[in-house]
Amino acid sequence: VRLREREDAFAAALAGAAEAGAGTIYHVGRFDVIECALVLEPEEPLAGARRAVFAGMNALAETIAAECPPERTVRFGYPARLIFDEGLVGGGRLGWPQGTADTDVPDWLVFGFMVRTEGFQELGFVLDPAMTTLEEAGFRDIDPAAFVARFCRHLMVEIDEWLGEGFKGVANRYLARLPKGEAEGLRGIDGNG
């Protein structure tokens, strides 16, 4: 579902998830941000299904890492901030039907993300030094629709592994991108995220 520039993909996905069904992608066409939300239909209670945010973040990181030079770093700020080349470039979020208890299997989940692609440097505006855009980090000719398609392919790999082999691989990939200072002691993701 392609949305207009002023619309919010995450809000539209939350509003339409019950009718749209699994695999429906909401995408906003903007020049400065890639904004996308994807409807999922989990098969486990909400407490465990919320771990989908980690699968989504892994897919988002892999989408960027596949296109960037190898010396660049793609990592996370817990739970869903995306750090590229030491600058905050975007993040993800997860939504589900209001009133769903942790023990209930939700009818749907929505994973949404935003990634800043371009800034306003040519107009004299500069982002906070702790933030960046893909353009500032060296990406050129970013095609938002192709980016979303690559993200969806990476997410399918994450979900396929989760369903076939368990959550451990998804968790390990997420934790590998989380700086050591973000989690002291034993590092892991428990059954409820």
- pTM of the full structure: 0.91
Sole residue written with tokens 């700020």 = 77
> What pLDDT score does 13 carry?
97
On whether the CB atoms of residues 92 and 80 are closer than 8 A, the answer is yes
> What pLDDT score does 124 carry?
54
> What pLDDT score does 86 carry?
84
Question: Which run of H or E residues covers position 16?
Answer: helix 9-20
Which stretches of the chain score pLDDT less than 50?
A: 123
Q: Give the side-chain half-sphere CA count within 13 A for 108.
A: 19
